[in-house]
Structures are given as C-alpha cells and as structure tokens.
Amino acid sequence: MATLLISGAQVIDPATKRNAVGDIFVREGRIVDSLSPAERKRAKKIDGEGLIASPGFVDIHVHFREPGQTHKETIGSGSRAAAAGGFTTVVCMPNTSPVADNAGTIQFIKDAVIRDAVVKVLPTGCITVGMKGQALAPIGSLKRAGVVAITDDGDCVQSNELMRRAAEYAAMFDLPIMDHCQDHSMTEGAVMNEGVMSTRLGLRGWPHAAEDLIVSRNVIVSAYTGAHIHLQHISSGYSVEIIRSAKARGVKITAEATPHHLALTEAGLSGYDTNWKMNPPLRTEADRQALIAGLRDGTLDCIGTDHAPHTNYEKDREFDYAPNGILGLETALPVVLGVLIKEGKFKLPAVIDLMTRKAARILNLEAGTLAPGAPADICLFDPHETWRYDARAGQSKSSNSPWDGQELTGRVKLTIVDGRVVFERGKIFD
Amino acid sequence: MPWNRRHLLTIEELSLAEIDQIHATAGAFKKILGRSVKKVPALRGKTIVNLFLEPSTRTRMAFDMAAKRLSADVISIDGSTSSTTKGETLRDTAQNIQALNADMIVIRHAASGSPQYLSGLLNIPVINAGDGAHEHPTQGLLDTFTMREHLGSLKGRKVAILGDILFSRVARSNIHALTKLGAAVTLVGPSTLVPHWFTDFGVTVSHDLKSALADADVVMLLRIQHERQSSGHFPSLGEYTSMFGLNKTRAAWLSPNAIIMHPGPINRGVEIDSDLADGDRSVILEQVTNGLAVRMAVLYLCAGGQPEHAAANAGEEKR
C-alpha cells in the first residue's frame, strides 16, 4: 500500500483541533505521525500548497439507486460523484427497488460496493417491511448484515406506535434510526412549501407544520425510549426550535441540514423548474436563516446532501408530476462554503467539522479525522477557485441540479481514500 | 402600441395596456357575433390545436368556436382519447403537434405551470386555457370585459369574489386582472378556502359575508366542489350554503346596480339561489358570449394580428 507525503497544505482537522500549514503522512492506508527518511524518499509526494487539506467529507444521506433504478445512478457512478465532491464516506438510503429491507439486499449492495465503488459506501436498511410502515423489518439481521442505521427515508413511518417499537428495538443493537419527518395526512399531493408562493403558483402546499409534527413525535419517542433518532434534512425553522429545546433537555436526537435548504428558498420556483422540486421542499428566507442559526449553535449537527439523482426525461415534465430530489455531492462544498462562510461568517474549521467529524459521529463511523491511526481519507480543496458547474459533465449519471451552469466558488482538487488517490483535478482513478 | 406577445400564459405577466388591447380587440370582434354570417377570414390557413387534458365544456367550446369564427382550422384533442393515456408525456404530445405544423396550441391541464413549460419547448404560440389552480387568463379577461361593459371604468369599483378561492384558477386570474384595472377586490368565503396568503396579492380577505357584499358593484361566485367536503375544508354543502350561499336577502346588501357573475358550471342551490342565477342582475350568460369574443381576440393577437386591424378584420370600416 502506498506511502504518501502531502506537503504545504493548510491542514484543518477539527477532530484534533489541527489548523496550520503542515504535512500529512500516510503509511499503509492510515494517517501516521511521521515517516522515516527512507519512507519519505519513496513516498508519493503531493504538493498541497495553496490548498486546504481536510478529512474526506462524510455524507450520511445519499441515494445511489442500486439495485433497481440504475438508469438514474449506480453505486459506482454515485461513488465517483462523491469522490469528485471530496466525500470519502457516504451512507446510502434503502429506498431502492427492491427496498433494502432484508440481509440479502444489503449483501447485494455490499458486493456492488466492493466491485464498483471508489469511496466508502455504507448501507442503511428499512425500518419496516417493504418500507410500507406496517411491520418491522428484520432489524437485527440487517444490523448483522452491516447496516449503519435504519430508515424509511422518503416514506416516514406514520404510526407512532410502530415508530416507538422500532426505536426501542433498534436501541438494543445501538442502531440509530434516521427519519424523514413528514405527516402524510397533511401533505397529500403537495409539491412545494405552503404559503404565499404556493398560493401564487397554484401548487399544492406542503406546510412546515407537517414536518414539525413528526419532529415533535420523534423527540417524544426518543425521550420516552432513550433511542437515538436522527432527523433527516430539516427544512422548517419551527422544527429547529423544537430540536433546540429537546437537546437542551438532553434528548438523544441529532439532525442534519442539506446544502439546498441552506442556500435556496421557494422564491426560486417561480418558473416551475423541476430542478427546484424536492422533498421536503425549499421554504422561506426565515426558515433558511433558522437553519443557518441551528448549525451555528449546534442544534443541527451536520450537513447531509440528500443526493437524489433522476434522469432528465423523468425531471423534464409538468411540475406536479416530476419526481422529488436533486443532486448534491458534486456541489456541496462550494454551496456550503458560500452560505456558511461568505454569508454566515462561519470559520472554515467549523464548516469542515459539519461535513466530517460531526457527520461521522452521528452514526459512529470510523471517519472524519486526520488523527494518527485513522484511515487516510483526505480531501484537498481550493476554497477560492471559481468554476462553472456543468452537471452533464459531472460524475453522476444524472444532471438534475439547480446549480447547473452556475459559477461556484470552492473546488475539490484531490480526494484520497485509504491512502489511494481516487480523484485528482477532474479525473477519477478507479 | 403594437401587440408583441406570442403566448398568453398568465394575467399576472400582462400589463394594463395589454389588457386594454385585448378588451378593445374583443369589442371589435363582438360586433360580428350577432350577424347572420359570423365568420371573418383573419386566421384563414392557420391550424389551431385545442389540447384539453382536463374536462371542460364552456372553455373548450368557446375556443373551438372562436377559432372557427376566425376561419382557422381547429383540431380538438382531449385527455381521454389522446396518447397521454398510453403514457405519452406532455412534451412528446406537444412536439408531435408542432411537427404537424400546427400554428398555435391551446392547452387546458390539471398541472399548474404546464403552459409555461410548453412555451419553453415549442416555437409556436401557447394559450393557457386553465392550468391547475394557477391561472385561467381568458376567463379573467372575459370577466373583466363583462364588468367594464356594465360599469365602465373599474377604478375604485368594489368586487367581491366568493367561494373556493384556494383551488380556483379563475379567482387568481381575476385578482390579477382586477388589481391591474384598479378595482378594490375582496375575497370572501370560509377561512379554509380563503387563506390569508391572498392578502399578498393586494386584495382584502374576509370571512364576513355581509361586510364583503356591502355596496359591492360585482359579486363573482365560484363553484363549490363537492370533494372539498371530504377533504375537510368545510363540514357540508348545507352548512356552506347557510353561511356563504348567495340568496335574495344577501343580494340586497349589494349596490343597487350590482351584477352577479359566475364562471360556471353552477351548483344551483349551493353557492347561489337558482332564481338569482337566472335573475335580472345575473350576467352569467353574457359572460359566456363575451368569452367567445375575448378568445377570438386572444387567438387573433397571439397569431400576430394587431389590435388596430381587428375592426377591419371584423368587417368594419370597409371603404
């Protein structure tokens, strides 16, 4: 295995509080304190001057569509998109076809990961059989098969009783539950945030109250059972408040925000562009500001992209009928830098923390740090480079992004997984 | 000012001058409607496709007839007989229509924004004949045309729109047209069907029928759909009628010369007393007639006609 010497970069590793220009040493796929003179001599040398070197990013919320919807994305193509975005560990959602509600499907995914993936792709399993919200999936077998969490992402468990039992049962295995918070009875046919904008566009509104209700439900279930529940892609400012007060009381919940909910609002929907359609929907400026504040004070724990590929022909249709979701992996860094640093005045280490250590910690993943002994998962990026994003030229199989054709600032230059360069200046090495 | 808009997608995007131009053109065309020969050659050789993917009687008939009166060839396609039932996308259907060299497409669709979507795909004019709960621009134009015939200028006139505003494209198009024309608009109905967000449109939202109707120059009723009951928007049609139905007692609150309007189809005995719908103050059937003139105007203008030539095309001022 390769020996690496990355020199001259500004090394930022929130987990070890490192933030200085220096060197990173890699031996046999792991970070080490130093290399011997002989090792230095034969090490592959990477010049990091002018770049930031951080732990490889961790995204605990992606959709790679395999098995069953490989026209949109595969584990291979999704992992290449991750590498291009500086992500070295991603957690894929189980709403594939068939859904990942049994050990056999998890094994299928793991086989595809070994065969095709250029970054670490970790599976989740369903909470319920068929993701139908009626009976518990074999959660113990899923855990044994290697899932890092269970979730019915996209199809929130509506029964409070079933959610309580799932939480209790999963806690026995220390398996976190991730929940997409949506009360279905309030969102039938809904395609965007409910309010002035939906009224103007004549589109069915998805009230933030439908998120707030399930966020509250999950706070209550977590407090009652002691189980860890992770709240996915929070979009509502009111939900941020609920989470803040629950955390103050010590409830074991965590929550994520997506780059798009941080950067965009419903105001962008005026042209009925389906690349602005996702679930939960983009909300108001006040909600967006509440999310930024939530990340600042720790109410929200991390960034998760909800990378959700769909083909052009699926997205290119009437707004009501287009599927929900947009790409996220290849634009996450510049979008988040733009919102949190330029606008929110966050410090760079705090932003990196949200995309590395704090994301990994939610699911107890061995990732997100450059501490000696850790896997050598590293991202080198230029926070100031401005480039034009061409979604069709990206690594994902799909190109459904509201940032397509836009100028973005902040660009990933190099991605290293277990000491191996998998992405360098636009090219994938698999 | 020349007319240079190819598509008619919304009233929201129209200027006051454009509304005036459409109304003036409709006025010219209206004159030929009562003649024995009701046809003018304005769009001879043009093909107009009416793509109605949602049920419609009045609008579809009016667009059909309007095109024929202008001597265009018309083809009407409805949802149940089109290839959309075989899963063909709107994009493919529309591109096929364009490939057959149609000159214009009139679309009615249940999905809001579909006309905008088509206008971005096609290089022929797209006319919105109603999209979801978004807009129904020709309805808003014909309603305000009718109001102007009765009231003259609408500046400062009080217009009450009563009923299911939330799901109504007719309401939205009328709100945009009326606010541009300077009318004072009050939306009234149950709070579940008239959400406060509408105040952002520059109108008054009310749940008190008496104050909303007091001295109004126009009351426009909207159809109450039965399915809103099962979705919990109000308890029952009976309760709706008792709280918000227009009857003789309540009609007496209106200004003495007020007109009563309804875009149809009417639920007699629900949103309006049957007698009132047929009474002296009702202009419901005039709306239908004016709908023909307004749609002729819209087809004519979007096909490249100019307002000042409409009168000549309508057979006037021949020397």
Nearest to B213 by CA among B159, B279, B281: B159
Determine contact: A321 vs chain B, CB below 8 A: yes
Q: Are residues B155 and B259 in the same domain?
A: yes
User: How far apart (Å, rounded) are the C-alpha atoms in residues B126 and B118?
Assistant: 7
Q: At B192, which helix (H) or strand (E)?
A: none
The whole-number average pLDDT for the span B174-186 is 98
pLDDT digits (tens, 9 = 90+) for B3-17: 999 999 999 999 999
Predicted local confidence at residue A1, as pLDDT? 62
Catalytic sites of A, residue numbers: 306
Q: Is the pLDDT of residue B84 over 90?
A: no
For A10, residues 6+ apart whose C-beta sits below 8 A from its C-beta are A19, A20, A21, A51, A52, A53
The mean of the pLDDT values for chain A is 97
Reduce the DSSP state of residue B31 to 3 states and report it: coil
Q: For residue B48, give the 3-state DSSP assignment.
A: strand
Residue B87's pLDDT is: 83
- B318 pLDDT band (50/70/90 cuts)? very low
B64 in the same domain as B160: no
B202 lies in some domain: yes
Q: Which residue type occupies B163? A: G
β-partners of residue B204 are B186
B219: domain CATH number is 3.40.50.1370
- Whether B89 and chain A come into contact, CB under 8 Å, resolves to yes
Give A201→chain B minimum CA distance, Å. 5
Residue among A318, A319, A321 with most chain B CBs within 10 A, to mutate: A318
Report pLDDT for B80.
73
Q: Is B193 near chain A, with CB under 8 Å?
A: no
The whole-number average pLDDT for the span B102-118 is: 97
Percent of chain B with pLDDT over 90: 84
Render pLDDT for B210-243 as a digit per residue (tens, 0 to 9). Answer: 999 999 999 999 998 777 777 889 999 999 999 9
Are B147 and B85 within one domain?
no
Task: Compute the distance between CA of residue A106 and CA of residue A97 in angstroms, rounded to an integer.
Answer: 12
Residue A387: CA count within 13 A, CB half-sphere: 21
**Residue A245 CB coordination number (10 Å):** 11
What pLDDT shows up at residue B182?
98
The answer, for A199 touching chain B at a CB cutoff of 8 Å, is yes
- B11 in a structural domain: no
Residue B253 to residues B150, B189, B212, B215, B224: CA-CA distances in angstroms?
19, 16, 9, 6, 22
Of B90, B110, B131, the CB nearest to A317: B90
Instruction: Give me the number of domains chain B comprises.
Output: 2
Same structural domain, B164 and B205: yes
Q: Which two tokens stand for residue A273?
A: 């562009």
Flag if B91 and A317 touch (Cβ within 8 Å): yes
Residue A303 one-letter amino acid: I
Q: Tell me the mean pLDDT in the region B96-102.
A: 94
Mark B239-272 as b/e (b = at least 16 C-beta within 10 Å).
ebbeebbbeeebbebbbeebbbbbbbebbeebbb
Backbone angles phi, psi at B281, to 5 degrees: -85, -10
Cβ contact B188:B244 at 8 Å: yes
Confidence of residue B78 (pLDDT cuts 50, 70, 90): confident
Pair (B34, B86) in one structural domain: yes
Establish, for the pair of chains A and B, how many residue pairs have beta carbons separated by less than 8 Å: 59
pLDDT band at B315 (very low <50, low <70, confident <90, very high): low
Nearest CA in chain A to B113: A272
Same domain, B56 and B118: yes
Q: Which residues of chain A have pLDDT under 70?
A: 1
pTM, rounded to two decimals: 0.95
In this chain, the answer to whether the domains covering A3-52+375-428 and A56-362 adopt an identical fold is: no
The chain B residue lying nearest A320, using CA atoms, is: B111
Q: How far apart are CA B229 and CA B301, in angstroms?
A: 41
Q: With respect to residue B236, please indicate whether it lies within any of the assigned structural domains.
A: yes
Indicate whether B131 and B141 sit together in one domain: no
Cα–Cα distance between A266 and A197 in angstroms, integer?
7
Residue A260 has which token pair? 């798009």
Q: Do B134 and A320 touch (CB under 8 A)?
A: no
Inter-chain residue contact B113 with A272, CB threshold 8 Å = yes
Whether the pLDDT of residue B149 is over 70: the answer is: yes
Which of B91, B92, B112, B118 would best serve as a mutation to test chain A binding (most A beta carbons within 10 A)? B112
- Is pLDDT of B82 > 80? no
Confidence at residue A48, expressed as pLDDT on a 0 to 100 scale = 97
What's the rounded Cα separation, in Å, for the pair B171 and A133?
A: 39
Helix then strand then coil, % of chain B, to nearest 5: 40, 15, 40
The confidence band for B316, taking pLDDT boundaries of 50, 70 and 90, is low
Q: Give contacts of A202 with chain B, Cβ < 8 Å.
A: 112-113, 131-135, 169, 172
**Do both B36 and B57 map to the same domain?**
yes
- Among residues B104, B110, B129, B85, the alpha carbon closest in space to that of A318 is found at B110
B259 lies in the same domain as B307: no
What is A3-52+375-428's CATH superfamily?
Urease, subunit C, domain 1 (2.30.40.10)
Q: Are residues B152 and B74 in the same domain?
A: no
Domain ranges of chain A: 3-52+375-428, 56-362
Strands (E), chain B: 47-52, 73-78, 104-109, 126-131, 158-162, 184-188, 204-206, 218-221, 259-261
Integer angstrom CA distances of residue A365 from A63, A354, A356: 18, 14, 10
A366: which 2 tokens? 């061995």
B72, B44 Cβ separation under 8 angstroms: yes
Contacts of A372 (CB under 8 A, 6+ apart): A30, A31, A32, A33
pLDDT recorded at residue B210: 97
Q: Is the CB of A272 less than 8 angstroms away from the CB of B197?
A: no
Domain span at residue B155 reads 137-286
**What's the 3-state SS for chain A?**
CCEEEEEEEEEEEHHHCEEEEEEEEEECCEEECCCCHHHHHHCEEEECCCCEEEECEEEEEECCCCCCCCCCCCHHHHHHHHHHCCEEEEEECCCCCCCCCCHHHHHHHHHHHHHHCCCEEEECECCEHHHCCCCECCHHHHHHHCCCCEECCCCCCCCHHHHHHHHHHHHCCCCCEEECCCCHHHCCCCCEECCHHHHHHCCCEECHHHHHHHHHHHHHHHHHHCCCEEECCCCCHHHHHHHHHHHHCCCCEEEEECHHHHHCCHHHHHHCCHHHCCCCCCCCHHHHHHHHHHHHCCCCCEECCCECCCCHHHHCCCHHHCCCCCCCCCCHHHHHHHHHHHHCCCCHHHHHHHHCHHHHHHCCCCCCCCCCCCECCEEEEEEEEEEECCHHHCCCCCCCCCCCCCEEEEEEEEEEECCEEEEECCEECC
pLDDT of the residue at A341: 97
Contacts of A220 (CB under 8 A, 6+ apart): none
Out of B109, B110, B113, whose CB is closest to A201? B113
Count of all residues that appear for chain B in the document? 319
Please provide the average confidence, as pLDDT, over all residues in chain B.
93
Residue B132 Ramachandran class (φ > 0 left, ψ -120 to 50 alpha, else beta): left
Flag whether pLDDT at B319 surpasses 60.
Answer: no
Would B73 be classed as within a structural domain? yes
Q: Chain A: nearest CA to B96, how far in angstroms?
A: 15
Evaluate the omega torsion of the peptide bond into residue A280 and state whether it is cis, within 30 degrees of 0: yes
Task: Please give the torsion angle defined by the CA atoms of residues B23, B25, B30 and B33, in that order, rounded to the nearest 10 degrees.
Answer: -140
User: DSSP character for B219?
Assistant: E
- For the domain made up of A56-362, the CATH class stated in words is alpha beta
Interval B310-317 mean pLDDT:
68
Contacts of B106 (CB under 8 A, 6+ apart): B48, B49, B50, B51, B63, B127, B129, B299
ipTM of the complex: 0.94
Give the span between the Cα atoms of A37 and A32, in whole angstroms.
14
Residue A196 with chain B: CB contacts under 8 Å: 197, 200
Residue B119 lies in a domain: yes
Q: Which residue in A138, A111, A116, A114 sits closest to A126, CA to CA?
A: A138
**Collapsed DSSP state (helix, strand, coil) of residue B167:** coil
Q: Is residue B124 part of a domain?
A: yes
B244 touches A: beta carbon within 8 Å: no
Whether residues B212 and B256 share a domain: the answer is: yes
Interface test with chain B among A187, A266, A270, A272, by most B beta carbons within 10 Å: A272
Q: What is the DSSP letter of B225?
A: P
Q: Give, in order, the Cα–Cα distances in Å from A290 to each of A198, A252, A262, A294, A356.
A: 21, 21, 9, 6, 22
Both B297 and B308 in one domain: the answer is: yes
